[in-house]
Each structure stands twice: as C-alpha cells, then as structure tokens.
C-alpha cells in the first residue's frame, strides 16, 4: 500500500484526478469505479477541465459507481445519480449507456450489477473516499467482509455524516445498495482519498491497524495496487 500526504485537500484530490486521467490516457475504454461524497469533487473538476481542453476523452470510458441510496428519486439533489450528473456526467462526453449506478434492493439486483461489472472486463481503477468509521462505499463496520453488491442498513454515524445533504437527519434513507468489499478488492488499482482531521483515525487504522471487518478499509492492505492520498490533517496520525 502506497501512502502520500499532500499539503492540502485540493492537492490530494487532484493527485487522484491525475491517476484517473492517466488510466484513461493509457486505455481509452477504461472502466472507472467512481465514488461520491465531498472528497472527490476536486478530482472530478480536474477531469472536466482536462476534458474541456482536449487532454482526455471519455467517449469509450465506462463507469460504475460504488453505491446509491435505496428508494431515492434519481432526480433528488441528495441522490448519487444527481451528484454524478452535476460533477461529471453532464460535463464530459461519457455515453449514457456506459454509466452505471447500482439500483434496487434485492439480491438479484446486486448480482445484476456484479455481472455488468464483470461483462465490462472488471474495474481498472477504483476511486474511494473513506468514512470516519473506516467504511468504503457503504460497507459499514461489521462482523465479516461483504462480497458482492448488496443492500445495507446505514449506521447512525453515516446517517449523521450524510444528513448535511438532506433537509433533516430523518430524511436520510436508512438503506443503500453498495458494491461489496469483494467488488472493490477485484479492481485492478485502487485510489483512496481522505481529507480533514475527522478522517485521521480511519486513515491510521486502515494503514497501520489490524485487518478487520470492523474497519472495512483495512482490507486494502492486502491489495497489490492501492494508493492512499491524504492532506496533512487526515494523514496526521501517520506522521507520529
Ligand atoms: P466524504 O464521504 O467524502 O463526504 O467525507 C466519504 C465516505 O463516506 O465514503
């Protein structure tokens, strides 16, 4: 696992954007695993700016997002569909048929998503944020690691963290559909970005702690091509 600390959050996120752009440059029909949340926004802004300047082309790129709330209207500003549309999909030449987010809530819905990823040839590069509790996607701390795309019940900590996107915490959906840890680990390369002091403990436990489903991101220690990019605050405990 590679670990790099940057001067500030923007630089850490832009470094992730560099890796995604390099992947697209190397392989025009790359399969990108994408994440939502506040953290990746500068990475998407950077990809949009490079697209506008003709540096990268999304014409043959395929994307698979990590997760979505169960039952949310895709047009709702709090949905991950909406987020991706706002920050990336509407701003580059991705073909609508090449863009995928998980939906539904049955085991068959999860399997269909896994099969679509498999049919695309697997994920070349997976972008990840991390929760304060060490979650990746919506894989919350649990007694065991998840495998494929599945429905999850959100923890109180995640509901509180995500309430800022809704009118009130009561409006946060209680369930989401998320790629599993197995899907994430199957990506050929992984880029995890963490910024801000609230993530410092999760970063430390991810990189230095025991590998345990109680800190879902800790399994990334076993991935052969994983880089963790942080700002000074999120990387603070790693410097001690
Ligand atoms: P954030 O979310 O980027 O909004 O902090 C990350 C996550 O919870 O995975």
Instruction: Give per-residue pLDDT as tens, 11-35.
Output: 999 999 999 999 999 999 999 999 9
Cα(118) to ligand 1 centroid in Å equals: 26
Tokens read off for 96: 């609508």
For ligand 1, what atom is nearest to the CA of residue 158? 8
240: pLDDT confidence band, cut at 50, 70 and 90? confident
Look at strands 31-34 and 125-128 and give their pairing: parallel
Does position 110 have pLDDT exceeding 90, yes or no? yes
Q: Strand locations in the chain, DSSP E?
A: 2-6, 31-34, 62-65, 67-69, 99-100, 125-128, 150-153, 175-178, 189-194, 226-231
Which protein residue's CA is at the shortest distance from atom 2 of ligand 1?
Answer: 37
123 in Cβ contact with 188 (< 8 Å): yes
Mean pLDDT (the chain) is 96
Which protein residue's CA is at the shortest distance from atom 8 of ligand 1?
Answer: 131
| Phi, psi of 18, rounded to the nearest 5 degrees | -60, -45
Q: What is the pLDDT of residues 44-79, one digit of tens each?
A: 999 999 999 999 999 999 999 999 999 999 999 999
Q: The CATH number of the domain where 15 resides is what?
A: 3.40.50.1360
Range of the domain at 198: 2-239
Number of domains in the chain: 1
Q: Which residues line ligand 1 (CB under 6 A)?
A: 37-39, 129-131
Catalytic residue among 68, 114, 140, 231: 140
Q: Is 140 one of the catalytic residues?
A: yes
**If we measure between CA atoms, which residue out of 202, 236, 232, 234 comes closest to residue 220?**
202
């Amino acid at each position: 696992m590679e670990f790099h600390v940057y001067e500030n959050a923007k630089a850490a996120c832009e470094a992730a954007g560099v890796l995604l752009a390099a992947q697209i440059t190397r392989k025009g029909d790359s399969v990108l695993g994408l994440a939502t949340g506040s953290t990746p926004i500068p990475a998407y802004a950077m990809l949009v700016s490079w697209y506008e300047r003709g540096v990268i082309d999304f014409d043959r790129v395929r994307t698979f997002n990590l997760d979505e709330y169960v039952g949310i209207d895709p047009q709702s500003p709090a949905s991950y569909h909406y987020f991706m549309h706002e920050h990336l999909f509407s701003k580059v030449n991705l073909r609508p048929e090449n863009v995928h987010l998980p939906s539904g809530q049955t085991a068959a819905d999860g399997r269909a998503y896994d099969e679509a990823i498999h049919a695309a040839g697997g994920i070349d590069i997976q972008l990840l944020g991390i929760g304060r509790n060490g979650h990746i996607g919506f894989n919350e701390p649990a007694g065991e690691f998840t495998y494929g795309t599945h429905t999850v019940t959100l923890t109180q900590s995640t509901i509180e963290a995500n309430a800022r996107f809704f009118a009130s915490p009561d409006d946060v959906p209680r369930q989401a559909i998320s790629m599993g840890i197995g899907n994430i680990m199957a990506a050929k390369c992984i880029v995890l970005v963490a910024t801000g002091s609230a993530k410092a403990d999760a970063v430390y436990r991810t990189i230095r702690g025991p590998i345990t489903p109680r800190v879902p991101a800790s399994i990334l220690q076993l991935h052969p091509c994983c880089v963790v990019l942080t700002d000074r605050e999120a990387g603070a405990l790693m410097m001690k």
